[in-house]
């Protein structure tokens, strides 16, 4: 049956690409503050950047609302609030809740069509009404942006009545909030800046290990340090594609960084501004190619393997795998379509944002530390990471966040 002009159909499972995200914004599924329309450069191949709102709330502790709205929880936990319009400093290890400029109006169910409107006004003319047909539920998942994670800023999106961070259920209709906890450095932020990003899924389908092996055989996903496709028999797969840490280099070469304590604040507006040595201690390669992580210290390392994400797929690094050690290996987990370039480019290293918990932990070169989960896109994005969309991290090796002077 042909699609009518006032109907939108989602038929294929997967992560929604940029063109579908724009359509959902047009239909009001993804809305915005009346004074801050969604900007073109918020869109990534498989996600949309979320922006900080006008006020921040300092709270006594982190929380999940579960049986309440976030606002109701704030009434009990708020210590004070302040404006972000002109910028403000968030202190390290303090917990802040910030309403975001975006909100969601996800359809209640995939069993019946949902009426939407092409504008954010309250027009109810049936001629202007758009009916959204989805074969599967629409859900959403949030994650910190790369530049947020590399500054050791712990952020998580929260929604009303939710019992889980970052995950937004089908049918959610309401505001979005972000919890922000700077861990190593104070940060200065202001209204409109972007610490997080959001993906919307039509259904949920992680690729099986068999699918990963089949795709890699046809269009390689993982490469050696030299950029050559890894032989199929060398891949480690178990509900995802496992990767390891790179610690081997000539003695004296930098293989990682450790965050310095009691540094000055970092202004999110200032790109390429800060001297590396003011905030980071370089970790130099040793003859035994190992590092002992100190509990609750923050480190930046790179993966040993190089990875690419084909146009038909989206990818997420799993932050925790307790089977690989009591440590977090990544804050910013989304890898968009096009990351690592083409097969001929030989992929790019994944940067690890590592924090060990409880006990000192030894890591060695080539040690398996994390896994990558791949999902199909519902259709190929119209723009690709590092190609049509500018990227600070395409083709990266070991690299700090964009706020530091790389010269």
User: What pLDDT was estimated at residue 333?
Assistant: 82
Residue 161's pLDDT band (cuts 50, 70, 90): very high
Cα–Cα distances (Å) from 267 to 87, 90, 187, 274, 354, in that order, read: 9, 10, 6, 9, 22
Residues 156 and 224 reside in one and the same domain: no
Report whether pLDDT(281) > 90.
Answer: yes
Residues 58 and 168 reside in one and the same domain: yes
DSSP 213: H
Domain count, the chain: 2
User: What pLDDT was estimated at residue 114?
Assistant: 59
Residues 218 and 196 reside in one and the same domain: no
Phi, psi of 237 (to 5 degrees): -125, 135
> What is the domain-level CATH number for residue 128?
2.70.40.10
Domain ranges, residue 368: 209-376
User: What pLDDT was estimated at residue 120?
Assistant: 40
Residue 113's pLDDT band (cuts 50, 70, 90): low
385 belongs to a structural domain: no
Cα–Cα distances (Å) from 242 to 56, 99, 235, 283, in that order, read: 38, 36, 8, 24
C-alpha span between 301 and 243 (Å, rounded): 13
C-alpha span between 55 and 63 (Å, rounded): 18
User: What pLDDT was estimated at residue 126?
Assistant: 47
The DSSP string of 84-137 is -TT-EEEPTT-EEEEEEEEEEE--S-SSS-EEEESSSS----GGGEEEEEESS-
Q: What's this model's pTM, rounded to 2 decimal places?
A: 0.90
Mean pLDDT of all residues in 296-324? 86
Report whether pLDDT(324) > 90.
Answer: no
User: What pLDDT was estimated at residue 81?
Assistant: 98
Average model confidence (pLDDT) for the chain? 88
Residue 331's pLDDT band (cuts 50, 70, 90): confident
In this predicted model, what pLDDT tens digit does every residue of 17-76 receive, in sequence order? 999 999 999 888 999 999 999 999 999 999 999 999 999 999 999 999 999 999 999 999
Domain boundary among 202, 236, 268: 202
User: What pLDDT was estimated at residue 119?
Assistant: 42
249 contact partners, CB below 8 Å, separation of at least 6: 255, 285
Mean pLDDT of all residues in 220-239? 94
Report whether pLDDT(239) > 90.
Answer: no
Helix (H) or strand (E) holding 372: strand 368-376
Torsion sign, CA atoms 57, 59, 65, 69? negative
Residues 268 and 128 reside in one and the same domain: no
């Amino acid at each position: 049956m042909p699609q009518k002009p006032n109907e939108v159909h989602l038929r294929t499972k997967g992560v929604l690409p940029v063109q579908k995200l724009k359509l959902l914004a047009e239909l009001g599924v993804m809305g915005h503050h009346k004074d801050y329309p969604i900007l073109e450069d918020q869109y990534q191949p498989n996600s949309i950047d979320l922006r900080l709102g006008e006020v921040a709330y300092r709270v006594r502790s982190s929380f999940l609302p579960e049986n309440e709205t976030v606002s109701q929880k704030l009434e009990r936990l708020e210590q004070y609030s302040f404006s972000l319009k002109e910028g403000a400093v968030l202190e390290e290890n303090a917990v802040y809740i910030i309403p975001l400029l975006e909100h969601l109006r996800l359809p209640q169910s995939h069993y019946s069509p949902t009426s939407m409107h092409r504008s954010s006004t309250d027009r109810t003319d049936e001629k202007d009404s758009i009916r959204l047909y989805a074969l599967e539920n629409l859900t959403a998942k949030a994650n910190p942006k790369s530049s947020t994670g590399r500054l050791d800023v712990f952020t998580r999106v929260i929604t009303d009545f939710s019992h889980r961070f970052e995950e937004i259920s089908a049918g959610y209709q309401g505001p979005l909030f972000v919890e922000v906890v700077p861990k190593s450095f104070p940060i200065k932020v202001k209204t409109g800046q972007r610490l997080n990003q959001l993906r919307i899924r039509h259904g949920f389908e992680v690729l099986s290990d068999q699918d990963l092996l089949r795709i890699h055989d046809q269009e390689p996903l993982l490469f050696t340090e030299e950029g050559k496709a890894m032989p199929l028999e060398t891949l480690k797969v178990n509900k995802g594609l496992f990767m390891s840490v790179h610690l081997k280099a000539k003695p004296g070469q930098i293989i990682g960084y450790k965050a310095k304590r009691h540094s000055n604040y970092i202004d999110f507006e200032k790109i390429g501004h800060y001297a590396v040595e003011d905030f980071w201690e370089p970790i130099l390669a040793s003859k035994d190619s190992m590092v002992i992580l100190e509990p609750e210290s923050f480190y930046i390392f790179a993966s040993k393997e190089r990875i690419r994400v084909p146009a038909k797929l989206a990818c997420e690094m799993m932050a925790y795998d307790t089977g690989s050690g009591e440590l977090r290996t990544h804050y910013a987990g989304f890898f968009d379509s096009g990351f690592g370039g083409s097969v001929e480019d030989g992929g790019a290293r994944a940067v690890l944002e590592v924090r060990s918990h409880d006990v000192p932990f030894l890591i060695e070169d080539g040690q398996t530390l994390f896994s990558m989960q791949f999902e199909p896109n519902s259709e190929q994005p119209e723009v690709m990471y590092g190609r049509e969309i500018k990227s600070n991290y395409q083709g990266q090796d070991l690299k700090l966040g964009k706020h530091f002077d790389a010269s």
